[in-house]
Amino acid sequence: MRLAKKLVSKIKELRAANNFMTQQDLADAIGVSRQTVSYLEKGDYNPSLKIAHDIAKYFGKSIDDIFEYESVMKIKREEFNLTQEQLATLIGVTVEQIKKIENEEFKEEDKPPEFIEKIAKQLKCKLEDLIEFDKK
């Protein structure tokens, strides 16, 4: 079992920093549809290496500067505008436990199922949204 992750990008921020260029402007520059840029910004689409490279090249950045994986738990927590401290208080655990889970610095015994279930309930999502079970 491991924490579910989602690809997030900084494309929207880079577009804003680049004279508020539109999704269509970027799409035209790298040869994809505007919808593809939209999906990338929302994390609903994992780009091919070529698209990731083209975006990075366009903005003069490395791929690692633009794309990163974040824990779904962190993304959900931020959607509810909760700090790690607030979430910890709401579910009755320490801030350190929340930090360890979000940063994947935990051992299996640090995250018993009932602990993850409390987090899922507080963030109004399914347990399966937060963790990925190893396929055997």
Query: Domain ends where: 69, 95, 116?
Result: 69
Query: What pLDDT is recorded for position 8?
Result: 67
Contacts of 81 (CB under 8 A, 6+ apart): none
Domain that holds residue 64: 7-69
- Confirm whether 100 is domain-assigned: yes
Contacts of 62 (CB under 8 A, 6+ apart): 56
Alpha helices in 1-136 (DSSP H): 11-17, 23-30, 34-42, 49-59, 63-66, 72-79, 84-91, 95-102, 113-122, 127-130
- Confirm whether 120 is domain-assigned: yes
125, pLDDT greater than 70: yes
Query: What pLDDT is recorded for position 14?
Result: 93
Burial class (CB in 10 A: 0-12, 13-18, 19+), 60: exposed
Q: Are residues 26 and 65 in the same domain?
A: yes
The 10s digit of each residue's pLDDT in 71-105 is 778 888 888 899 999 999 998 888 988 888 787 77
Is 41:11 a contact under the CB 8 Å cutoff? yes
Query: Domain ends where: 47, 69, 91?
Result: 69
Q: How many domains does the chain have?
A: 2
- Confirm whether 84 is domain-assigned: yes
- Confirm whether 2 is domain-assigned: no
CATH number for the domain including 97?
A: 1.10.260.40
Query: What pLDDT is recorded for position 103?
Result: 77
Question: Is the whole model's pTM more than 0.75, yes or no?
Answer: no
Q: Are residues 16 and 57 in the same domain?
A: yes
Q: Are residues 61 and 75 in the same domain?
A: no
**Which residues on neighbouring strands pair with residue 16, listed in sequence order?**
none
- Give the chain's mean pLDDT: 83
CA dist., res. 115 & res. 88, Å (int)? 11
- Confirm whether 90 is domain-assigned: yes
- Confirm whether 63 is domain-assigned: yes
Mean pLDDT of the region 35-48: 88
